[in-house]
Chain A
Amino acid sequence: MRGGRIDPVSIVLRIAACASAACAALAGVGMIGFILIKGVPHIAPSLFAWRYTSDNVSMTPAIINTVIMTAMALLIAAPLGILAAVYLSEYARRGSRAVRIIRVASETLAGIPSIIYGLFGFLFFVVALRWGLSMLAGGFTLSIMILPLVTRTAEEALLAVPDMYREGSFALGAGRVRTVFRVALPAAAPGILAGVILAVGRVVGESAALILTAGTAAKASASLMKSGRTMAVHMYNLSSEGLHINQTYACAVVLIALAAMINALSSWAARKAERAALGGGND
């Protein structure tokens, strides 16, 4: 059909593809633009005041809680996930039964919605272990939630390390453990980092699981056994109270900015990982 007559099917298909892409872009850009236009004018210094009061719904305590929560979840999930990835990529035989079972478990975990994590965290950490609604319960719940993400990305990064690195290390007389820690992990570091940063993004954006485990106390929590709300939960509470709509928009702007930052960092790390994989032994 090329050249001569005009083929209507081709034109319709082309238009459908272009229009859909335009729709998708419009949805994304429209939403971000809407929030930015409504929110940016309401970002005021008072919103970052040290204390939260019912008149001035400062987000500083929520930001502090978010940092603590992220640190806690990463402290638990990152080492566990990376060690698990080392087992899967460096020790286990490919396709062995153990690997298959671990992979199924990890995929199941990855598919579980956050509200079920929240419910489990509530039943296990809050009720069964008697931790109460606390930052600690929230952190443990989120660490389980991000575990599959960290494991999978770290495993992929380790598998991308060329085998000649390991062979070189073995040839120099290094053992397996030394090879893992001195050769494979450093070479895979950028890829692992990209996954960990994605996990940070999930922690920062999480709300459903945290409402049931860490509660919604508006103060910066004085101890890990106290309840505290992160940024996302803070924003949900503000929007459901409905008294501070402008401040809610401002919160949304901060959350979007955080998401953009995390996104940029993660893709920077991923690019670095790609370059390292392509560069081979040149650098």
Chain B
Amino acid sequence: MSMRASIRNAASVGTARGLRSRAAAETVMRIVFLIAACACILCVGLICAFLLANGAPAIARIGPLKFLFGLDWKPGRNLYGAAPMIVGSLFVTAGAVIAGVPIGVLTAVFLARFCGKRLYRFISPAISMMAGIPSVVYGFFGMTALVPVMRAWFGAGKSVLTASILLGIMILPTVIRVSESALRAVPDSYYEGAAALGASRERSVFFCVLPAAKSGVIAAVVLGIGRAIGETMAVIMVAGNQAVMPGGILSGVRTLTANIALEMGYAADLHREALIGCAVVLFAFILLINLLLSAVKRKGA
């Protein structure tokens, strides 16, 4: 008792009290910072919980096999087969990779190794600009410029092909930026070594610098895949959105994202839950992509 009192007395002396309250403030702020940092974890947890709690029972009720492999999506007749949309998402994403990745990576090589300073000052802001343009604008451009051209050339306007090309353009900035910085991170000695052995400038870059930047380039591709599979509005505007298995690259297609955005507004009961089931499938793809990305990064480090 007396000891506690003496401590209290000591604390009331100016500097000691100041120190104690300062230590308390430090602790409080430390906890505040920690709580803020944990907000991310809370958000991920909430999102997972809400999707699974609403989506998993529906998938169970429909039957996981019927949901994942069923070919008919007819909410009016209580048929919820998501296979056309899953295949649609995969088709369109693969198309975007085929359309966007080679051009993106080659452009990154050009920017990092062949581009003059003055040209770079023009192209580099243009690419940042492309990254900042909203996806509705891309979609509208696709709808008004790309779709008529595709209709004139191939006879089919809104199709897997159109969506792939548009998404290919949309993932360009991501692919270019990430692979460019990977290429720039390769030490100059790689290039100089190859050149010293007599390789031409192009051969040195493509057969020595590019392989050295491999993991960064792969990370760029994976990020691009993530963007393409998650894109919603632009795809809705150019893909046709028929909920049937796409017959070829010129047939219309509906992706998982489009399915959710188009029907969520009016869906109820099992229909709504089946849409959330679609989101669970999409989320599984995204998690897979994230795992892939961190594996690539770990390998690169």
Contacts and interface: CB of A to CB of B under 8 A. Distances in A.
Q: Do A and B bind each other?
A: yes
Interface of A: 1-2, 7, 9-11, 13-14, 16-21, 23-25, 27-29, 31-32, 34-35, 38, 79-81, 83-84, 86-88, 90-92, 98, 101-102, 104-109, 111-120, 122-124, 128, 144, 147-148, 151, 175-177, 180, 201, 204-208, 211-212, 232-233, 235-236, 239-240, 245, 248-249, 252, 255-256, 259-260, 262-263, 267
Contacts of B38: 102
A17 B119 CA distance: 14
Per DSSP, chain A at the interface is: helix
25 contacts: A10-B200, A13-B206, A16-B106, A20-B103, A20-B107, A21-B106, A23-B107, A24-B176, A31-B145, A32-B129, A38-B144, A79-B36, A84-B40, A91-B34, A108-B290, A111-B286, A112-B47, A118-B264, A123-B50, A123-B51, A175-B22, A180-B29, A208-B232, A212-B264, A255-B137
Contacts of B276: 119, 123
A197 B19 CA distance: 39
Contacts of A239: 136, 139-140, 143, 237
Nearest to A198: B132
A188 to B, nearest CB: 15
A205 B133 contact: yes
B3 interface: no
Interface in B161-184: 169, 172, 176
Most buried by A among B133, B265, B276: B133
Given A1-B200, A83-B37, A34 B141 contact: yes
Given A31-B141, A208-B257, A255 B136 contact: yes
B160 interface: no
Given A21-B106, A21-B111, A102-B37, A263 B206 contact: no
Contacts of A10: 200-203
Contacts, number: 262
A208 B227 CA distance: 14
Contacts of B287: 108
Contact of B200 (A2, A116, A144): A2
A147 B43 contact: yes
B106 A17 contact: yes
Contacts of A29: 126
A14 B289 CA distance: 32
B200 A7 contact: yes
B137 A252 contact: yes
Given A20-B103, A239-B140, A263 B125 contact: yes
A206 B136 CA distance: 8
A87 B34 contact: yes
B50 A124 contact: yes
A17 B286 contact: no
Given A115-B261, A119-B264, A239-B237, 10 more contacts: A11-B202, A80-B39, A87-B37, A111-B226, A112-B283, A116-B283, A119-B276, A236-B233, A252-B141, A259-B133
A177 to B, nearest CB: 5
Given A25-B123, A122-B264, A109 B43 contact: yes
Given A17-B106, A113-B229, A116-B51, A2 B198 contact: yes
Contact of A1 (B33, B110, B203, B293): B203
A124 B45 CA distance: 12
A102 B132 contact: no
A201 B106 CA distance: 27
B242 interface: no
Most buried by B among A11, A79, A102: A102
A37 B265 CA distance: 34
Contact of A113 (B26, B39, B138, B231): B231
A177 B136 contact: no
A113 B46 contact: no
B129 A263 contact: yes
A177 B26 contact: yes
A13 B202 CA distance: 6
Given A2-B200, A21-B110, A116-B283, A84 B39 contact: yes
A252 B286 CA distance: 30
A114 B202 CA distance: 40
A233 B136 CA distance: 8
A14 to B, nearest CB: 5
Contact of A105 (B41, B176, B231): B41
Contacts of A19: 106
Contacts of A17: 106-107, 109-110, 113-114, 202
Given A20-B103, A88-B37, A9 B290 contact: no
